[in-house]
Amino acid sequence: LEAKEEFSHKTLAMDVMRPRRNDPPLTVITQDSMTVEDVESIINETTYSGYPVVVSRESQRLVGFVLRRDLIISIENARKKQDGIVSTSIIYFTDHSPPLPPSSPSMLKLRSILDLSPFTVTDQTPMEIVVDIFRKLGLRQCLVTHNGKLLGIITKKDVLKHIAQLANQDPDSILFN
């Protein structure tokens, strides 16, 4: 098998990542514009283990990654123990709080639970390399970008499914090559 030919039907990160072509977009949290209530509804309406944090929905610039369980604990704690935290409080992951009118409720800073350097690959990365990275670094998830914009996510389970699929296809590819 020629190296070049082999390369031409290699699976890429974009083929394995979620969302798939007709799926709803990735569920993300913005860095300084969502309320406690907004984030609580994301937690209640989805079961994902974590959420990418972006500068804004329009920019889709990745800021970090936050785990669902850390969000749940921190919001619960803040609602109980932190003065002035209500459903309409803004949650921010930035260093400084966003400028808001003086009449706004207290804001909730959650920078401490943000993973500021989640692992990322570009959408064109061959899955062979992605699998290797997952194995070697023991990743739970990896984010996928294109031109610096967040595009998707690949979890450890997605990688395992991909490997299982390859194993099933192998007999055929041996026959046909």
Distance CA 108, CA 21 (A): 35
Nearer to ligand ADP, 65 or 85 (CB): 65
Question: In angstroms, what is the minimal distance from the CB of 109 to ligand ADP?
Answer: 22
Task: Please report how close the Cβ of residue 127 comes to ligand ADP at its closest, in angstroms.
Answer: 14
Cα separations in angstroms, 35 against 77, 107, 140: 16, 9, 27
Among 31, 51, 74, 89, binds ligand ADP (CB under 6 A): 51
Dist CA 110 CA 75 (whole Å): 9
Residue tagged 């390399």 (tokens): 129
Nearer to ligand ADP, 43 or 111 (CB): 43
**List 76, 157, 164, 173, residue binding ligand ADP (CB under 6 A):** 157
114: Cβ contacts below 8 Å, ≥ 6 apart:
53, 63, 64, 65, 66, 93
* Nearest-5° Cα angle at 17, 13 to 21: 110
Q: Is 49 in the site for ligand ADP (CB under 6 A)?
A: yes
Binding of ligand ADP by 26 (CB under 6 A): yes
Binding region for ligand ADP (CB under 6 A) out of 3-11, 75-83, 114-122, 150-158: 150-158
By CB under 6 A, name the binding residues for ligand ADP: 18-19, 26-27, 47-49, 51, 153, 155, 157-158
